[in-house]
């Protein structure tokens, strides 16, 4: 895009100059030179006639014609004179030299000579026709018709045209070059120059400081600032994080070392469908974020094989190359029995740790048997990491709360490994965390990591305080490190994000108007619908209930929206095995039905609940069709839905309503930030979003897009891996120094 703009900046002035030359300058030049030549030839004709006048008058009658003919024949030997004729006062051609066209009578010659371009084309070439009185005082008297050669003027005119074209081309090139240079270099200078003038500095000082011009100066100053903002937004970040930069970082700072990722959820699930095995992508924020990173690293991803056809596609090491169409990395599947899955995943992770870490007022359940399972499964995954490691110091990226014990288990077997653990959900305060019976073991497990990452500084602070409360560890707040049993862990915040869509991906999207038409048609909604969307896993932490209450309050408080405001809620089923989740899903269904009964009329239903998983194309279409996207999580590590919505809106339209309890609220401050527990506030935000002028939407969205584009998932991974690279370098230096210190002793 940028190179296209550059080319345009260069080509446009060049083309304009050439077009001006071809359409205006050359014809104008032609006409002017012809006029100049005609004037010169006329003067020459007059001079010649005057010189001949004496000879014409002196000749006696008897020989007059013979003498005259001889005289004129001599005169026409001049190379620029083609022919001469003598006309009598009554318009008779008395004599004509050789080469004079017999068809050109005296009257016609006089007529021709009157024209603005007195030219005639003969067999020998173009001639200029001039008629001159022999004696100007004698009227009517004899006249000479002179035909003068025009071919030399044409030659000169062609030369002039050539020079002019060359000059205009050079001029065009110079203008194009200067335009590009000015656009590139002096945008800032120009803006600051204008700013200085508007601040009342420089030569225009008295004018700009005049009180009556102050409002105008203020207005222009603001417009300039807007222009500058637009410019920087359009240009994007100076050094963008992308897969290539991440690959470079792996090659240089990590010297191409092996990368192993561990997560519970697998990025691709093979399932039996009616027409054979199909591949499905799970609805998971973790997978959304980590998969582009793995594609850039080309390592191994270890995850639970949960699809009913998963076993049928793996090799002898339980591995399969994914993505299915390009096979960019290895997916190693771990098989869990139903009991293991029940105890480790549903039990300890999702009934214990998930509610423990999300302050969403659901009581955590801790069972001894679940804990035993959790430990055993962590050990199995740790064994797989060791089996997968090609050397003694791989980079292991551990994902999420399913593997709090794994870092220490891997550290025990591979002491030199670099273990980066990322906790995708919030970390609570020490009091909340303290209710977990195995709090010390969990903290010890996590401190096996080299780096432990959270989305926000706030979660880091909670973790440091929790360790301080429950373990005997040394905490260095200045460096945000914890030293425990001789090993050090860096606690750092790395806000996660999404992969910013490429230009090719964006070009393949349907235009927003088309997406909107398709969505409204599919859901049978009228064209004037104010469309709000929510896209979540069907989880109680996502604030879906609070969202429905806000919609209900909006319709109650502002009846003008009844009949036109619609919330389309995609709720992908999740953890439905758990009673808490089943109850929650039923409750949401009941509340949606109640609202629809209360405010629905005819075909109008204010809440459309789509309780099934959608493919990513459908989700993107919904984002592009929406007027409003609502994210009302009661607590969320980050939340990627809001970032996906922003990335989808290349038209810079649409309003984001975002919970202040989502990690994303720290970055996306141009959204309408709400407290989802405050139903009234969220209802007012919905009203404000529905009425927001397009200009304000554009302002907010453009700024949000700039943030998400710059702080993308490659930056997330890049920062973490760069920190790991630095740590590994330090370790190598320490080891070298140690060796040098020990070497003389050995010799001695």
Instruction: Enumerate binding residues for ligand GDG (CB under 6 A).
Output: 283-286, 288-289, 424-425, 496, 535-537, 570, 572, 613-616, 619, 636-641, 644
What number of other Cβ atoms are within 10 A of residue 537's Cβ? 20
Q: Are 438 and 415 in contact (CB under 8 A)?
A: no
What number of other Cβ atoms are within 10 A of residue 722's Cβ? 15
Residue 489 or 633: which CB sits closer to ligand GDG? Answer: 633
Q: How far is the CB of 698 from ligand GDG (least distance, A)?
A: 24
Q: How far is the CB of 639 from ligand GDG (least distance, A)?
A: 5
Residue 421 or 639: which CB sits closer to ligand GDG? Answer: 639
Residue 130 or 543: which CB sits closer to ligand GDG? Answer: 543
Instruction: Indicate the burial class of 596 (C-beta count within 10 angstroms; 0-12, 13-18, 19 or more).
Output: middle
Nearest residue to 261 via CA among 76, 171, 424, 394: 394
Q: Are 671 and 633 in contact (CB under 8 A)?
A: no
Q: Are 460 and 480 in contact (CB under 8 A)?
A: yes
Q: Are 109 and 145 in contact (CB under 8 A)?
A: yes
Q: How far is the CB of 215 from ligand GDG (least distance, A)?
A: 46
Query: 3-state secondary structure string, 695-744?
Result: HHHHHHHHHHHHHHHHCCHHHHHHHHHHHHHHHHHHHHHHHHHHHHHHHH
Q: Are 130 and 113 in contact (CB under 8 A)?
A: yes
Residue 143 or 402: which CB sits closer to ligand GDG? Answer: 402
Hey, is 418 helix, strand or coil? strand
Q: How far is the CB of 5 from ligand GDG (least distance, A)?
A: 32
Residue 295 or 537: which CB sits closer to ligand GDG? Answer: 537
Residue 72 or 717: which CB sits closer to ligand GDG? Answer: 717
What number of other Cβ atoms are within 10 A of residue 675's Cβ? 16
Residue 411 or 459: which CB sits closer to ligand GDG? Answer: 459
Q: Distance between CA 158 and CA 21 in Å, rounded?
A: 14
Residue 410 or 662: which CB sits closer to ligand GDG? Answer: 662
Q: How far is the CB of 230 from ligand GDG (least distance, A)?
A: 30
Residue 424 or 728: which CB sits closer to ligand GDG? Answer: 424
Q: How far apart are the first and last CA of the chain?
A: 67
What number of other Cβ atoms are within 10 A of residue 245's Cβ? 15
Q: How far is the CB of 619 from ligand GDG (least distance, A)?
A: 5
Residue 644 or 684: which CB sits closer to ligand GDG? Answer: 644
Residue 134 or 625: which CB sits closer to ligand GDG? Answer: 625
Q: Distance between CA 555 and CA 665 in Å, rounded?
A: 26
Cβ neighbours of residue 346 closer than 8 Å, sequence gap 6 or more:
575, 577, 578
Q: Distance between CA 384 and CA 378 in Å, rounded?
A: 10
Q: Distance between CA 164 and CA 117 in Å, rounded?
A: 22
Nearest residue to 344 via CA among 315, 374, 302: 374
Q: How far is the CB of 355 from ligand GDG (least distance, A)?
A: 13
Q: Are 403 and 267 in contact (CB under 8 A)?
A: no
Q: How far is the CB of 642 from ligand GDG (least distance, A)?
A: 8
Q: How far is the CB of 537 from ligand GDG (least distance, A)?
A: 5
Q: Distance between CA 159 and CA 153 in Å, rounded?
A: 10
Residue 595 or 638: which CB sits closer to ligand GDG? Answer: 638
Nearest residue (beta carbon) to ligand GDG: 285
Q: Are 410 and 372 in contact (CB under 8 A)?
A: no
Q: Distance between CA 405 and CA 448 in Å, rounded?
A: 8
Residue 404: cis peptide before it, omega within 30 degrees of 0: no
Q: How far is the CB of 475 from ligand GDG (least distance, A)?
A: 25
Q: How far is the CB of 216 from ligand GDG (least distance, A)?
A: 47
Hey, is 630 helix, strand or coil? strand
Q: How far is the CB of 272 from ligand GDG (least distance, A)?
A: 20
């Amino acid at each position: 895009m940028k190179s296209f703009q550059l080319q345009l900046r260069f080509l446009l002035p060049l083309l304009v100059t050439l077009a001006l030359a071809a359409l205006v300058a050359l014809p104008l030049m032609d006409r002017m030179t012809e006029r100049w030549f005609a004037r010169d030839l006329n003067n020459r004709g007059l001079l010649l006639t005057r010189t001949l006048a004496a000879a014409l008058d002196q000749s006696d009658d008897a020989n007059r014609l013979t003498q005259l003919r001889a005289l004129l024949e001599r005169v026409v030997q001049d190379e620029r004179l083609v022919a001469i004729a003598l006309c009598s006062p009554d318009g008779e051609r008395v004599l004509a030299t050789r080469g004079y066209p017999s068809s050109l009578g005296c009257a016609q010659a006089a007529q021709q000579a009157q024209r603005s371009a007195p030219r005639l084309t003969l067999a020998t070439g173009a001639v200029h026709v001039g008629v001159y009185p022999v004696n100007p005082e004698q009227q009517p008297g004899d006249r000479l018709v002179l035909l003068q050669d025009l071919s030399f003027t044409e030659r000169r005119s062609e030369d002039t045209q050539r020079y002019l074209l060359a000059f205009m081309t050079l001029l065009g090139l110079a203008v194009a070059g200067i335009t590009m240079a000015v656009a590139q270099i002096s945008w800032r200078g120009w803006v600051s120059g204008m700013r200085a003038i508007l601040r009342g500095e420089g030569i225009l000082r008295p004018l700009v400081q005049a009180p009556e011009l102050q409002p105008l100066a203020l207005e222009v100053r603001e417009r300039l600032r807007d222009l500058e903002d637009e410019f920087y937004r359009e240009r994007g970040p100076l050094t963008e994080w992308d897969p290539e930069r991440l690959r470079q970082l792996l090659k240089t700072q990590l010297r191409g070392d092996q990368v192993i990722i561990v997560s519970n959820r697998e990025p691709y699930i093979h399932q039996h469908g009616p027409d054979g095995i199909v591949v499905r992508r799970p609805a998971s924020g973790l997978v959304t974020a980590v998969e582009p990173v793995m594609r850039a690293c080309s390592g191994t991803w270890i995850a639970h094989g949960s699809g009913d056809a998963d076993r049928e596609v793996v090799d002898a090491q339980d591995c399969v190359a994914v993505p299915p169409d390009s096979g960019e990395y290895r997916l190693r599947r771990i098989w869990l029995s139903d009991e293991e899955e029940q105890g480790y995943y549903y039990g300890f992770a999702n009934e214990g740790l998930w509610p423990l870490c999300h302050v969403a007022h659901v009581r955590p359940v801790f069972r001894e048997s679940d804990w035993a399972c959790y430990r055993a499964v962590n050990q199995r995954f740790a064994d797989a990491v060791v089996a997968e490691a090609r050397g003694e110091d791989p980079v292991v990226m551990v994902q999420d709360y399913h593997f709090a014990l794994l870092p220490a288990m891997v550290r025990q077997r591979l002491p030199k490994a670099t273990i980066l653990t990322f906790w995708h959900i919030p970390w609570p305060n020490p009091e909340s965390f303290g209710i977990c019976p195995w709090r010390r073991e969990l903290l010890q497990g996590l401190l096996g990591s080299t780096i432990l990452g959270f989305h926000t500084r706030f979660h880091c602070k909670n973790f440091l305080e929790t360790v301080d409360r429950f373990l005997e560890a040394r905490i260095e707040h200045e460096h945000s490190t914890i030293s425990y049993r001789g090993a050090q862990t860096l606690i750092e915040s790395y806000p996660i994000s999404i992969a910013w869509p490429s230009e090719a991906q964006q070009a393949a999207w349907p235009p927003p108007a088309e997406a909107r038409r398709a969505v409204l048609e599919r859901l049978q909604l009228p064209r004037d619908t104010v469309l709000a969307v929510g896209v979540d896993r069907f989880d109680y932490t996502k604030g879906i209930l609070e969202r429905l209450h806000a919609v209900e309050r909006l319709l109650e408080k502002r009846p003008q929206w009844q009949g036109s405001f619609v919330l389309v809620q995609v709720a992908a089923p999740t953890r439905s095995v758990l009673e808490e989740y089943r109850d929650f899903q039923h409750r949401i269904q009941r509340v949606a039905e109640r609202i629809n009964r209360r405010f629905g009329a005819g075909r109008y239903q204010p809440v459309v609940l789509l309780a099934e998983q959608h493919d990513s194309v459908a989700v993107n279409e919904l984002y592009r069709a929406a007027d409003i996207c609502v994210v009302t999580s009661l607590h969320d590590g980050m939340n990627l839905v809001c970032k996906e919505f922003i990335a989808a809106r290349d038209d810079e339209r649409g309003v984001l309503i975002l919970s202040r309890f989502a990690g994303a609220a720290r970055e996306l401050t141009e959204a309408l930030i709400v407290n989802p527990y405050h139903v009234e506030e969220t209802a007012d935000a919905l009203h404000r979003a529905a009425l927001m002028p397009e200009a304000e939407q554009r302002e907010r969205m453009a700024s949000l897009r700039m943030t998400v584009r710059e702080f993308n998932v490659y930056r997330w991974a890049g920062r973490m891996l760069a920190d790991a690279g630095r740590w590994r370098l330090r370790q190598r230096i320490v080891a070298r120094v140690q060796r040098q210190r020990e070497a003389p002793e050995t010799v001695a």
